[in-house]
Structure 1
Amino acid sequence: MEDKSLTVEELVAQVGGKLLQGDGMTRLCGLNSLRDAEPGEVSFLGNASYLAQLETSRASAVLVAADFSGAAEGKALIGVENPTLAFSKVVEWFGVPDVLPPKGVHPRAMVGEGVEFDATKVSVAAGAFIGDGVQLGDGCVIHSGARIGAGARLGKDCVLHENAVVKQGCVLGNRVVIHSNSVIGSDGFGYQQVEGRHVKIPQKGIVQIDDDVEIGSCTTIDRARFGKTWIQEGTKIDNLVQIAHNCVIGRHCILVSQVGISGSTRLGDYVTMGGQVGVAGHLEIAGRSLILAKSGVTKSVTVPGAYTGFPAKPLMEGRKLLAYPGKVPDLQRRVKALEAKLAELEK
């Protein structure tokens, strides 16, 4: 196995930091959290709430903010502008490396007719499926088991991980990443009840995903009934998220695991939704809104801000409503006491 150890001085150069204290010749061979680090490992202080752990940590080196004025006995402290981001470089260095298929198209990949790509500038693994008329931009990486339906278009440097599916006609911009087992372009959930039976409404639109979107594992984004379901630039979507047909998700949104968004709802830019948020259909959510975990949005959000509860309310109002059930036992006791006093007075 390759020796990736390096000295503190070498790490300082790698992260563009400054050695605030400690021995620059200390050798580092791995990384860990402050709580779990052992001698020879590097960690980081990304949040002041972990300051106590810095004092007790056994790490040999710690990335801290450039203006950090504290001390930590026996440790090298490396000042950087943003410890969390700088530590990402350390993770890249010491972490498990990505395993990518080699450049070219593997002989056991299935490639349809009329596919447009430069085979010397893409990586298509064994078992990948590329349908007729697909367009792949330079730098695309298609892992084993991934499937691209007929007529789909992928821009440059897209990555489809194992068993990811981009169905027919869907369009991806540049640098889109789709993790394992996610499906882009499955049929929207549309039915009309006729004479007691559910009649399927054809779903013949597409999904368009713009540049720099990343989608976690086991997420589903349904194709539009007509037109497009649209995920705009820079949005990040966690695992196990469901986005229904004809939704529009604005730029640079964050959707955390188990968010469910019903059909034709539109999110503005920079909307954040916590885990298990549910959103009804045909609503509009104002840009820069924050919907806290497990909230249920039943009406459009017209004013940016933080919202919580079911139905979702502005944060302070929602917190008060959430607190009321906890007061019920005390209120019940007080009511019983008042009823007893009233009964005495009526005698």
Structure 2
Amino acid sequence: MKLKEIADFLAGELRGHPEIEISSVASITEAQSHQITFLAHKKHLDRLSHCQAGAIIVPDGIEPALPHIKVKNPYLAFAYLLELFYPKPRPMPEISPLSYIGPNTLIGEGVTVFPYVYIGEEAVIGHHSIIYPGAFLGDRVKIGSETTIYANVSIYDAVSIGNNVIIHSGAVIGSDGFGFVKKDDGTHHKIPQIGSVVIEDWVEIGANVCIDRANLGQTVIKSGTKFDNLSHIAHNVVIGENSIIVAQVGISGSCTIGKNVTLAGQVGMVDHINIGDNAIVIAQSGLTQDVEANAVVSGSPAVPHPVWLKIHASLPKLPELIRTIRQLEKRIEALEGERR
């Protein structure tokens, strides 16, 4: 593909020979003369001196000697090129005779159902969706169009999944919320979890993510939200549009997460927390109270990030401070003894 064609595809500004042939894409450290790469930020400018790529995608303000294409968002442009050069193959649409399809289930056009898939009664599968081997879809499950469900996903009864959703292997959607009442004899009585889960359009759910059904009502994941692997979403949680949930996050029951929120790795929170739109919670933070919109918090218990940085900076000084305080206490005791 000629460099000018790539520039046109990206709606970028080309600097360099338009007839350069580009056959593939690669990282800035590995790209060769027939490949294109990208540089997203000025802090990586030192990598240009060793770059052997045929061309590079850059933002405004960077002028490499290499042929280059200027775009507003190089990382996004690079993602578009990956889709262009490496289109993901789609399996042939067919329903395997080794799958089980329950009675009164509706399956749309162009759907692929691989062997050993179980689909329960009165389910609905939208057009051009793909369900890989070993997936379990319970009764009355609804799957939208262009949705992909990878191997060994479990979707319990009455869960609703939107369009263009991706659910990776091992995810469990709609398992019972963790609800028990302690009886007088010390045993735990299970509270029936009769609600459901609603996953809206363009959501991606990582491998081994668990999203529990509501006790009453719905657990809701709104459109565009993305989950990394191994996260747990408890009953009656609501997560707003376009949020990012990184690996090993634990969200307790009845929490409400706003739009465009980022929960970094291993964040945990108590139940009934509210997090405002555009908030960022730094990795390994523990939330015990609400987080305002646009806030950045960290630590456990979480505090505003600048405050946590000061706390963290003081930690190495604590042993010496403690020794100093003890020495001062002994001097005060000695002075008080002399006065007596």
Both proteins in one fold, TM over 0.5: yes
Residue 298 (structure 1) aligns with: 288
RMSD over equivalenced CA pairs, Å: 2.1
Residue 220 (structure 1) aligns with: 210
Residue 85 (structure 2) aligns with: 94
Match among 120, 145, 151 for residue 140 of structure 2: 151
* Cα distance change of structure 1 residues 236 and 60 upon mapping to structure 2, 3 Å threshold: same
Q: Normalising to structure 2: TM-score of the pair?
A: 0.91
Match among 301, 309, 320 for residue 330 of structure 1: 320
Match among 66, 70, 73 for residue 79 of structure 1: 70
8 Å contact 1:20–1:78 — kept in the other structure? yes
Residue 12 (structure 2) aligns with: 17
What is the CA distance between 1:125 and its match in structure 2? 1.8
In structure 2, how many angstroms separate the alpha carbons of the residues matched to 1:175 and 1:14?
A: 23
Residue 3 (structure 1) aligns with: none
What is the DSSP-based 3-state SS (H/G/I as helix, E as strand, rest coil) of the residue aligned with 2:107?
A: coil
In structure 2, how many angstroms separate the alpha carbons of the residues matched to 1:343 and 1:201?
A: 60
Q: How many residues align?
A: 336
In structure 1, how many angstroms separate the alpha carbons of the residues matched to 2:209 and 2:120?
A: 22
Residue 249 (structure 1) aligns with: 239
- Quote the sequence identity (%): 36
* Cα distance change of structure 1 residues 36 and 275 upon mapping to structure 2, 3 Å threshold: same
Residue 173 (structure 1) aligns with: 162
1:261 aligns with 2:251: yes
In structure 2, how many angstroms separate the alpha carbons of the residues matched to 1:288 and 1:78?
A: 31
1:133 aligns with 2:128: no
Residue 26 (structure 2) aligns with: 32
What is the DSSP-based 3-state SS (H/G/I as helix, E as strand, rest coil) of the residue aligned with 1:310?
A: coil
1:46 aligns with 2:40: yes
Residue 63 (structure 1) aligns with: 57
The runs of 5 or more residues in structure 2 that have no matched partner are: none
1:164 aligns with 2:153: yes
Residue 307 (structure 1) aligns with: 297
The runs of 5 or more residues in structure 1 that have no matched partner are: 1-5
**Equivalent position amino acid for 2:39 in 1:** L
What is the DSSP-based 3-state SS (H/G/I as helix, E as strand, rest coil) of the residue aligned with 2:151?
A: coil
Deviates more, 1:280-289 or 1:240-249: 280-289
8 Å contact 1:101–1:124 — kept in the other structure? no
What is the CA distance between 1:105 and its match in structure 2? 1.4
Residue 173 (structure 2) aligns with: 184
8 Å contact 1:140–1:158 — kept in the other structure? yes
What is the CA distance between 1:230 and its match in structure 2? 1.0
8 Å contact 1:101–1:125 — kept in the other structure? no
Match among 221, 232, 243 for residue 222 of structure 2: 232
Q: Deviations over 1:314-343 (max 9, x none)?
A: 222222233332220231343355457668
Q: Deviations over 1:213-234 (max 9, x none)?
A: 1111110000111211111122
What is the CA distance between 1:293 and its match in structure 2? 0.8
In structure 1, how many angstroms separate the alpha carbons of the residues matched to 2:287 and 2:240?
A: 17
8 Å contact 2:278–2:293 — kept in the other structure? no
Q: Deviations over 1:75-117 (max 9, x none)?
A: 221122321111112212334x534321131222221111112
In structure 1, how many angstroms separate the alpha carbons of the residues matched to 2:84 and 2:232?
A: 34
1:267-278 aligned at under 5 Å gives the runs 267-278=257-268
8 Å contact 2:221–2:238 — kept in the other structure? yes
